[in-house]
Amino acid sequence: MFGESFAEAWAARYGAPPTADFPELGPFLRHRSVRAFSDRPVSEELISALVGAAQSASTSSNLQLYSMVSVQDRALRAKLNEFTSNQSQVTTAPWFFAFCADHSRLRLAASGSEADNLDYEDYFLMAVVDAALAAERMTVTAEAMGLGVCYIGALRNNPAAVADLLGFPDGVFGVFGLCLGYPAEQCDAAIKPRLHQDAIWFRERYDAKIGVEEYNARMAKFYKSQSQDPTVTWSQRSLRRLEKKYMSGREVIKAWLEKTGFVRR
Ligand SMILES: Cc1cc2nc3c(=O)[nH]c(=O)nc-3n(C[C@H](O)[C@H](O)[C@H](O)COP(=O)(O)O)c2cc1C
């Protein structure tokens, strides 16, 4: 449904045309989050292929420290939505996956022998990175098949309630959700501009060139095109996200990870 070429997608990201064209890369630059889905079903076979793609992602030491729980039951989805800030896409997406950092499986596999290293924060990070890589590979593959996705970080708003609802054992933590389906016909999700590359790609040594003013100006145009207030800049919006009220319950995560044995050292 979204068909921008590489050059068009590049221009939307950076506000200027690319210096070289790579037509086959168009699909990888035209991502946007989709929050309105059509009723068109997504077959179990396609979903299984997407899970295969997710599992094809690199994974630290092949430990595969992640799991995903798909939630199709409507009542369960509605309940889940209560714990994820009531975002309509959580209930309307044809498929919803809870992506989890998972130490539980390895602990079981290692039963009878020491699994000391799992207690360190690095192994928690590994599991989160694994989950993110798998989800993003699922995303890229799904988008190549004409589907749209929306990540749901709000899955972390209430770790205890989500764990209870989805039956997570200790050592399983819901990192984010992923809504997935064909975009609705009227879905007008647009490619969102990103910071210029010199704000995030440094050569040889880190260089704190942030380039925010120019980005604020480009984002203002984007907000206007999306009927959002262009006078509130990207910087201001980003700072607001750092206000305490936006923790949305996630301030309990550290205690939760310690309680459920995820991080002990
Ligand atoms: C880990 C993660 C969590 C996110 N959580 C949410 C969410 O709870 N709700 C939502 O509408 N979008 C969520 N998003 C989508 C981001 O808002 C979106 O990716 C960002 O604004 C950039 O827009 P784009 O994806 O359209 O390029 C999340 C994205 C990521 C990567």
Probe target for ligand 1 pocket from 152, 228, 234, 246, with the most ligand atoms within 8 Å of CB: 152
> What domains can you pick out in the chain, each with its CATH number?
1-30 (no CATH), 32-189+249-259 (3.40.109.10)
Residue nearest to atom 20 of ligand 1 (CA): 33
Name residue, tokens 């290692």.
Answer: 110
Task: Please answer whether residues 71 and 80 qualify as being in contact, where contact means their C-beta atoms are separated by less than 8 angstroms.
Answer: yes
Using one digit for the tens of pLDDT, what is the confidence trace for 75-90?
999 999 999 999 999 9
Cα–Cα distance, 214 to 208 (Å, whole number):
15
Using one digit for the tens of pLDDT, what is the confidence trace for 122-174?
999 999 999 999 999 999 999 999 999 999 999 999 999 999 999 999 999 99
pTM for the full predicted model: 0.97
Cα–Cα distance, 69 to 178 (Å, whole number):
10
Provide the pLDDT for residue 55: 98
Which one-letter amino acid corresponds to residue 186?
Q
Task: Please answer whether residues 211 and 142 qualify as being in contact, where contact means their C-beta atoms are separated by less than 8 angstroms.
Answer: no
Cα of 153 from ligand 1 centre, angstroms: 7
Nearest to 253 by CA among 185, 154, 184: 154
Cα of 101 from ligand 1 centre, angstroms: 19
Nearest to 14 by CA among 235, 191, 234, 207: 191
Task: Please answer whether residues 256 and 164 qualify as being in contact, where contact means their C-beta atoms are separated by less than 8 angstroms.
Answer: no
Cα–Cα distance, 84 to 133 (Å, whole number):
22
